[in-house]
Structure 1
């Protein structure tokens, strides 16, 4: 009885082992290669698969999802003999499980080494300034080269990114000083531009002010000239009227004209800045006599024109006009 139980147990174990060796469950994102007597025959896709017992077996279990590989840090000499430390990451995806399994040994290590060698080649062909400022160009060149190299392995390189670029310490300090100097230069240029614009604005303002001032002087001069012209015209008309009155023998007009000129001259004498004392003439008779004499002569001329001599009338007129017009 014990022997039968052991035998049955052994048979059950063999049956289960055979069942598991024949039926294979492939998870999503994976592919299994099948080998018959050590030779690749087919690839099992995700799902359930069946193998020939004792003949076929699973060869390689390949990851078909996109994978991220680290590119180890390495020191690279640039074209201008500067030492930089570079590392990066590469994104790959297995497209053909059979070629990735059987055409290269240790796929991830091979791709990492390929990235390192090409990274040294690309960075070494560029100067330090180009390396620091053209990461996109480096990534594009590496992607093109490595993708072409991994195509026979059934691997697609989707992208490569430079993760870190570290120049030497002395170069970093020099770059910091250069950046500071550039910032200071920009500040000086900006300040100079501001001063230039301010000077231009001030000059434009002074120009406009000068133009307006000149136009004002021009307008004032025009107004003054016009006023003098009007004044001259008025004086001319007044003189003409006085002349006409004199011609008609009007002694009052002569008296008014002479008295006005006398008063204006006396006022100018009083307003003189060098005049300290104004002496009023004590004898005004000379002025009155002069006016009376002129009046008599005008009256005589008028009488002669009218052919009617009237000798007493000019004297009377002169007597009436003997009083000074202005006290």
Structure 2
């Protein structure tokens, strides 16, 4: 009886030990791939799971971690049985790339990916991190090599989109979703950078000259337009003044003819008015010099003025 009780206790203890040994708690955002006798059995989801001890074993996957060595964070590759399903960043070092115009540049980038199928991530590639990194480097060289240096700085987003398409297509086979790819830095040789700086300075100077010439041209056009309008206004003013003067002379002639009646000759009236205008200009002519030479015709004009005034005085009112 005592032997049976002892055996029962031993069996119970073994069963409890096996149950406890087989319990496996998986954290949120983690997954564990279980192999049974060397072949794939199942993928454990977050929560409490139970596997058969000594028969079911988790399959390890290679991951990259950073460890502090000599005061610096150094990346190291480790094997872990728990697969992190959160988004992970892979910062691959700068790569020497030759552009389409034969300029050697160093490109540094970062890649963000997430394991969506742990089974494929474990079985489809021997080293997932290395496979992703090498594919990212080769794809980066391929895309950058198609572009010239000037376009390279303007097409970062275009390169990022193309790299993401290539990486995502390959990642589907490995159970990985590439969320985005970012080019961080593009380093160029010093002599090329100096040449680009001089080119940019020359381009800015050229734009400044173009803007200055355009401004001067617009100013000249505006000035010419203003002078044109001014000349038009002056001409219109002179035209209106001439019209008013002619109208005034016509009214003066009509007035003189009306005062003289039928005895006045219109030609005599016109001569009279011209004589008055001539007399008005004599003071101005005298200001220009000490001596004044009057033409012979001036005596006839002045005579017409005197004759007409005498005739008007003798006209009965």
TM over 0.5: yes
| Alignment partners' CA distance in 1, 2:192 and 2:169 | 35
Change in CA separation of 1:73 and 1:17 when aligned onto 2, cut-off 3 Å: farther
Runs (5+) with no aligned partner, structure 1: 1-9, 244-259, 276-320, 322-327
Which residue is equivalent to 1:52? 52
| Alignment partners' CA distance in 2, 1:30 and 1:216 | 94
2:110 to 74, 79, 89: 89
Which residue is equivalent to 1:138? 159
Which residue is equivalent to 1:290? none
| Alignment partners' CA distance in 1, 2:14 and 2:234 | 119
**Matched-pair contact (CA < 8 Å) for 1:72–1:116:** no
SS of the residue 1:79 aligns to: coil
Which residue is equivalent to 1:39? 39
| Alignment partners' CA distance in 2, 1:20 and 1:185 | 80
2:232 aligned with 1:211: yes
2:144 to 123, 131, 156: 123
| Alignment partners' CA distance in 2, 1:63 and 1:93 | 8
SS of the residue 2:82 aligns to: strand
RMSD: 2.8
| Alignment partners' CA distance in 2, 1:117 and 1:137 | 17
Which residue is equivalent to 2:26? 26
Which residue is equivalent to 1:71? 92
* Deviation string, structure 1 residues 267-320 (Cα, Å, up to 9, x no partner): 89x979457xxxxxxxxxxxxxxxxxxxxxxxxxxxxxxxxxxxxxxxxxxxxx
Higher helix share: 1
| Alignment partners' CA distance in 2, 1:112 and 1:14 | 47
Runs (5+) with no aligned partner, structure 2: 1-9, 60-80, 265-271, 293-313
* Deviation string, structure 1 residues 208-249 (Cα, Å, up to 9, x no partner): 111111111111111111111111122222332667xxxxxx
| Alignment partners' CA distance in 1, 2:14 and 2:104 | 64
2:206 aligned with 1:185: yes
Which residue is equivalent to 2:119? 98
1:13 Cα deviation (Å)? 9.5
Change in CA separation of 1:16 and 1:77 when aligned onto 2, cut-off 3 Å: farther
Change in CA separation of 1:105 and 1:169 when aligned onto 2, cut-off 3 Å: same
Give the TM-score, by structure 2 length.
Answer: 0.71
| Alignment partners' CA distance in 1, 2:84 and 2:153 | 35
| Alignment partners' CA distance in 2, 1:110 and 1:21 | 35
* Deviation string, structure 1 residues 40-77 (Cα, Å, up to 9, x no partner): 20010000101113321222321111111012211111
SS of the residue 1:201 aligns to: helix
SS of the residue 1:125 aligns to: coil
| Alignment partners' CA distance in 1, 2:15 and 2:58 | 19
1:36 Cα deviation (Å)? 1.3
| Alignment partners' CA distance in 2, 1:197 and 1:106 | 68
Change in CA separation of 1:79 and 1:13 when aligned onto 2, cut-off 3 Å: farther
Largest Rg, 1 or 2: 1
- The number of residues matched between the two structures is 246
* Deviation string, structure 1 residues 171-214 (Cα, Å, up to 9, x no partner): 11111111111111111111111111111111111111111111
Which residue is equivalent to 2:298? none
Which residue is equivalent to 2:309? none
SS of the residue 2:95 aligns to: strand
SS of the residue 1:71 aligns to: strand
Higher strand share: 2
| Alignment partners' CA distance in 2, 1:198 and 1:87 | 50
| Alignment partners' CA distance in 1, 2:58 and 2:159 | 40
Change in CA separation of 1:18 and 1:128 when aligned onto 2, cut-off 3 Å: same
